[in-house]
Amino acid sequence: MNTLLLAADEGEGGFHAPTIADFFPDAILFEGTVFQIDRHWIIRIVATIALLTVFIVAARRARLVPGRFQAGVEFLLDFVRVQIAEEVLGKANARRFLPMLTTIFLTILAFNLTGIIPGLNLAVTSRIGVPLLLALWVFVTYWAVGIKKHGLGGYLKNNLFPPGVPWPIYFILTPIELLQLLVIRPGSLMVRLVANMVAGHIMLVLCFAATQFFLLEADGALRAFGVLTLGGGIFMTLFELLVAFLQAYIFALLAAVYINMSLEEEH
């Protein structure tokens, strides 16, 4: 391994490993202000426009017998409705929260996929801003529905003082449960998403940067390693496609679970 790194350093351009700076590109406009525009911001806008365009076109061209495009869109919508909303919340509550869960799932999916789209190559969810906003949305929602159904006192009692527990245990259990409500639930949503997309981006960049170095800059037998890294890059791209869908599913599923926990009478 040391030999490969040494050879990389001695190449014409050298091998440049991915760093955390990849997720914080230089500002394009309004640097240093709250209105700063960078590549990350532009990718976010492009992904949002693309997502809205897909569903506007699907709605305007909707037919009783769907074509492939309409069937694909309907598959995504039905997946959220059946496999997430109805599966977790039941049909009675699913309709109420379906718009929220569908928005979360599709937004995360679209923003995750930007990481493997040529020309974009950076998942919007690899920076904390978007996951944080979505996690806060879930946080406010499960608190709001719980308080609306049980009242503030009843909601806190159900969550902080589970029945059937010896009262001395509450001194340990109640602070943990409060930490879950305030920090762990929303934190687990955003940290899981960000960590997966950061790791995926680094692996992709590592594979393709190594491929470029070995095929174009390395000498002799080292060029053969370019075939291996290219294969690794293709595999990681397909794997990231799976991860993009899986992370959107997990985020929306946990959002539904947390909301359902707030609606339950007892935990």
pLDDT of residue 214: 85
Q: What's the pLDDT score for residue 168?
A: 86
The per-residue DSSP string of 55-78 comes to: HHHHHHT--SS--HHHHHHHHHHH
* Sequence-separated (6 or more) residues with CB below 8 Å from residue 169: none
Q: Give the pLDDT score at 4.
A: 39
Q: Can you read off the two tokens belonging to residue 99?
A: 């718009």
> What is the value of pTM for the model shown?
0.89
What is the share, in percent, of the chain residues with pLDDT greater than 70?
93
- By three-state DSSP, how is residue 29 classified? strand
Q: What is the mean pLDDT of the chain?
A: 88
- What's residue 213's pLDDT? 85
Please tell me the predicted confidence (pLDDT) of residue 85: 96
Q: What is the pLDDT of residue 66?
A: 81
What SS3 state is found at 127? coil
